[in-house]
Chains A and B, each alone.
Chain A
C-alpha cells in the first residue's frame, strides 16, 4: 500500500499549497447557507393592506381595531384606509399595497342579525408567499373576532388542539445546515477529486504513475483516499463554522461530534466513489466542469436539504429514494437538529455504505491500468 500513500501524500502537499481551493470549497456553501437561510427562513412582515370600510358600523370598527393591533405588534402588515374600493384595487395592481380588505355595506347589520356576515380579502396572488401570509394572518384575526367571551364555566365541550414541540425551535438556517454540509463535501469531491483527476490525466501525470510498479488497487486507493480526506476536512469545517453561524445549540458535544465524524466519513467515501465512477473513463477536462452544475442540482434539491420531500411530485421523490444526498442530509438532520444516536441513522449509514461500495466496484471494473 506504500504506492497508494505516496499518491495521497502528493495530493495533500498540493492541497496545502492551494488555499484558494480550500477557501472556495468552504466559502461557497457558507455563503449559500447564510443567504438562503435568511432569505427563506424569515416570516413575511411589513406588508401593506388597503382597508375599504363601506359599512362604518361598530363591528366593522372592531375588525379595523384588530387589524391595527396586528400592525402594531406582529407587524405582519400595516393598514392604509381607502374610501373607494376602485382606488384600492388600482393601488393593488400598481403594487402600492399587497392586499385589499373590503368590509361590505350591511356587514354590521348582518353581524347583529346573525346572517352569515363576510368580509373580502383581495390578494395579489402572483406572489404566493405574500398572499398565503395575508390569508393566514386575517384568518387568525377573524378567529379572534369570532371567539365568544370567556366562559364562566371551567369545562367546555369544544375540543381544542395544543401543539407540543419536541425540540427547541429550529430556524430555517439550522434546517438548511445539514444540506449545506453535504454540499460542501460534494463540492470538494467535485473540485478536489473529480476535476483534479481529469486535469492530471489530461496533463499526462497519470502516464507517469502507470510506468511505475504501482498496482491497480494502489492507484485506485491513492486517488480516492486523498479525495475522501479532503472532503472530510471540508465537511468538518462546515460543521464547526456552520453550526456557529446557524446557532446550533451545544455544537461541540463530544458524543455528537463523534457521530458526526462517522457520518461525514461515510458520506465522503460514498460521494468520492460516485465521482470516481463518473470520471474513470472520461478524457475531456471540459465535460466534468459542464456536468457538475447539473449533478449538483439533481442531487441536492430532491434530497430534502431545502424543502420537505413530502411536497415533491412523484418523479422527484423517485430520485430522492436513490439519491445519496437524501440519506446524508437525513442523518445530519438527526444529529444536528435532534441530537439523535446511531439508532436513528443506522439505515442512512447502511445505504451510503452500500452506495459507495457499488459505485467503487463499478469504477474499479472500468479502471484501466494501461492507457
Chain B
C-alpha cells in the first residue's frame, strides 16, 4: 500500500530540549492513524512539522509525496489542518469562515458556493450557516473547523486533539462525522489525541508517543494482544467447595486468582481459553455460574506497558514540558 505520510528519523530540538526524538513511521493512504500520548509528549510538535508550521531539526518527512521542507507549498495544497485551538473567526459566520479559507486556498469562484454548502451539510450546520461562530456551541465550532479543513478538498487531513474540551455527546458526534467524511471523501487522516477511547474507536493504527519518542506502533487490537494478562474474568458461583480457588488456579492460561468467595477474579493471559475452562470446571463440579464478566485489556494498560506510567501521570508533566518549550529561543 502507498504511504500518504512518510516520517523518517524526524527530530525537533528547542535549545537543549528535544521535543521529538528520531521518530519514524508511515501512514497508508486511506488510513486513520492516531498519535497517542500525553500533551507534552511531542505529538503537536510532530504534527506541526508535518503541516509545515515548524521545520525539523533533523530527519525528513514527506506528505502526499512532497517533502515538508523543500516543497512546503505543495504539502499545504495537499493537506487540510484542524489545529488544536479553535481558530475560526468568532465574529464571522460559519459560511464566511469557509468562504475566506476557500479564497486562501484559491478554490475557483464557481466551485466555492456549492462546495461550502456541501461541507456545511456534511457537518450538519446548514441551519447555522449564517450565524456568527461565537454563538455556536463548542461541538458546533469544532464541526466548523472540520468543514474549514476540507474546503479545498484535501487528500490528507490532520487533526490535532479534535475533541479536546468537548462534552461526551459532542465527542461521539465528531467521531461519527469524521468516520463518515473519511469514508465519503476517501481521506487519509492523521490525528493526535490523549483520549484512549478516541484512539481505540477511531484509529486503524496507533503510535504511542512519550517524551518525544515513539514507544509502540500497531493496530489497537494487536497492541492489546501484545500485553500478558490481557483479560480479567469476574465469576460468581452459587456455592463453592473447599479448594475451589486452587482448582481455578490450575486452569489453562490463569495467571492469578483473587478469592472473594463466592466471587472470584481471575487474571488470565489467554482469555477465551480460560473462560471456556472455567465454565467446564463449574459444570463438572455441579456448580451454577451466577454471573460472568470478562474485562478486556484497555489501551490504558497498553500505554502503561510501553511507557511505564499512566497517561494521567504524563498529563501532569505536560505543563512543565510546555513551559520549557515556550522558554526556548525560536530559530
Contact = CB atoms under 8 A, between A and B. Distances in A.
Interface of A: 2-3, 5-7, 9-10, 13-14, 17-18, 203-205, 207-214, 368, 370-371
Contacts of A208: 81, 83, 87-88, 101, 148
Nearest to B74: A213
B26 interface: no
| Nearest 10 A/B pairs, CB to CB | A204-B85, A6-B103, A211-B81, A208-B87, A212-B104, A204-B87, A213-B76, A10-B100, A14-B91, A371-B53
A3 B53 contact: no
B92 interface: yes
A212 B51 contact: no
B318 to A, nearest CB: 18
A208 B84 CA distance: 10
Interface string B44-58: 000010011111000
A6 B55 CA distance: 26
Given A207-B53, A370-B54, A370-B55, A2 B87 contact: no
Given A5-B103, A6-B103, A6-B104, A211 B76 contact: yes
A13 B105 contact: no
A6 B97 CA distance: 11
A264 to B, nearest CB: 26
B106 interface: yes
B36 interface: no
17 contacts: A2-B103, A2-B106, A3-B103, A5-B103, A6-B104, A7-B100, A13-B91, A13-B92, A14-B91, A14-B92, A204-B86, A211-B53, A211-B76, A211-B81, A212-B104, A213-B76, A370-B54
Contacts of A212: 76, 101, 104-105
Contacts, number: 74
Contact of A13 (B52, B86, B88, B96): B96
Interface of B: 48, 51-55, 73, 76-77, 79, 81, 83-89, 91-92, 96, 100-101, 103-106, 132, 148, 330
A370 B85 CA distance: 17
A282 to B, nearest CB: 12
Contacts of B81: 208, 211
A18 B51 CA distance: 33
Nearest to B106: A2
Contact of A10 (B76, B84, B92, B148): B92
A219 to B, nearest CB: 10
Most chain A beta-carbon contacts within 10 A, residue among B92, B101, B103: B103
Nearest to A16: B91
A209 B104 contact: yes
B48 to A, nearest CB: 6
Nearest to A371: B53
A213 B78 CA distance: 10
B104 A3 contact: yes
Contacts of A210: 52-53
Nearest to A215: B73
Contacts of A204: 83-87
A14 B89 CA distance: 9
Nearest to B55: A370
Contacts of B148: 208
A209 to B, nearest CB: 7
Given A17-B91, A211-B79, A370-B52, A6 B100 contact: yes
Given A370-B52, A371-B48, A371-B54, A9 B85 contact: no
A213 B77 contact: yes
Contacts of A214: 104
Contacts of B85: 203-204, 207
Given A10-B89, A10-B100, A204-B87, A213 B106 contact: yes
Nearest to B97: A10
Contacts of B55: 370
A27 to B, nearest CB: 21
Nearest to B49: A370
A210 B77 CA distance: 12
B67 to A, nearest CB: 15
Given A6-B100, A211-B53, 15 more contacts: A9-B103, A10-B100, A13-B91, A13-B92, A204-B84, A204-B85, A205-B89, A207-B87, A208-B88, A208-B101, A209-B104, A210-B53, A211-B51, A211-B79, A370-B53
A5 to B, nearest CB: 7
A14 B132 CA distance: 11
A23 B204 CA distance: 54
Contacts of A368: 330
A18 B91 contact: yes
A213 B105 contact: yes
Nearest to A283: B326
Nearest to B103: A6
A10 B95 CA distance: 12
A7 B48 CA distance: 22
A370 B106 CA distance: 20
Most chain B beta-carbon contacts within 10 A, residue among A203, A213, A370: A213
Contacts of A203: 85, 87
A7 B100 CA distance: 7
A6 B101 CA distance: 8
Most chain A beta-carbon contacts within 10 A, residue among B86, B91, B104, B148: B104
B103 A213 contact: no
Nearest to B145: A208
B155 to A, nearest CB: 14
Contacts of B100: 6-7, 9-10
Contacts of B86: 204
Contacts of B132: 17
B158 to A, nearest CB: 8
Contacts of A5: 103
Nearest to B53: A371
Contacts of B330: 368
Contacts of B73: 213
B161 to A, nearest CB: 12
A315 to B, nearest CB: 35
A6 B102 CA distance: 9
A366 to B, nearest CB: 11
Nearest to A222: B104
B80 to A, nearest CB: 8
A209 B53 CA distance: 10
Contacts of B88: 208
A208 B105 CA distance: 11
